[in-house]
Structure 1
Amino acid sequence: MLSDKIKLTAKDILEKDFKTSVRGYKPEDVDKFLDLIIKDYETFHQTIEDLQHELMRLKKQASDDSYRRQPSQPSQPTPATGTTNFDILKRLSNLEKHVFGSKLND
């Protein structure tokens, strides 16, 4: 699970306390940067949550759709849109005329 791999949460970052030294960083700069990181973490977390919900919804929809299909009826291949057997035969005939020309009637 993803939560097992993530080491920090937005709360962990917010509550992190850095010790200062004589030549340390400005606490204001660190706080501003950590605020940006917290916002990113919250955004990432929300995005992950939304995607997990969408994935569950799609899996449920897919299982519902497969349940609705009736396995007793074999699926029929559908011809290309607007193409019928007549159209295919007509095309084949035209192709034969083009390739064989007058030899076809002999």
Structure 2
Amino acid sequence: MKKDKGKSNHLNSVGLSLSALEIHEKEFGYSIRGYNIEEVDLYLDQIIKDYEAFHSVIQEMQKYIKDLQDEISDMPKTSQEPDSLLDRIRDLEVYCFGRMKG
């Protein structure tokens, strides 16, 4: 049951207030002129399937985002590259024209 609690907390963190299990376990009272129980059950079953699909997609997207963030953090820092590029351009000017501009 702790796993379901963790899943519920995860869903809350992304703005969802109900889990598929909570929808499944919800019980409604009966009245004389209430809704057709079978229709409601079928509709709730579809909602449960959607919630499970949404949860799966959210987890995949979060993993994809984390993978991209890890990839970005593993990339070499480019803050020194412009200076290196400018040095190479100056060297090329000296080689081609025999003098530096500027």
Which TM-score bucket, shorter chain as reference? 0.5 to 0.7
1:23 aligned to which of 33, 58, 63? 33
- Alignment partner of 1:40 is 2:50: yes
Q: 2:50 & 2:11 partners in 1: Cα distance?
A: 17
- The answer for unaligned runs of 5 or more in structure 1 is 78-106
How far the C-alpha of 1:69 sits from its partner, in A, is: 4.1
How far the C-alpha of 1:2 sits from its partner, in A, is: 5.8
Give the % identical residues: 40
Aligned residues: CA RMSD: 2.2
- The answer for unaligned runs of 5 or more in structure 2 is 1-9, 87-102
Structure showing greater radius of gyration is: 1
**For residue 61 of structure 1, what is the aligned residue in structure 2?**
71
Q: 1:38 & 1:75 partners in 2: Cα distance?
A: 57
Relative to the length of structure 1, the TM-score reads 0.62
Which fold has the larger relative contact order, with Cα–Cα distance below 8 Å and residues 6 or more apart in sequence?
1
Q: 1:15 to 1:64 in 2, by over 3 A?
A: same
Equivalent residue pairs, number: 75
Contact 2:20 2:52 in 1 (8 A): yes
How far the C-alpha of 1:20 sits from its partner, in A, is: 0.9
Query: Which amino acid is the alignment partner of residue 85 of structure 2?
Result: Q
Q: 1:3 & 1:9 partners in 2: Cα distance?
A: 9
Runs of 4+ aligned structure 1 residues displaced above 6 Å come to none
Contact 2:11 2:55 in 1 (8 A): no
Relative to the length of structure 2, the TM-score reads 0.64
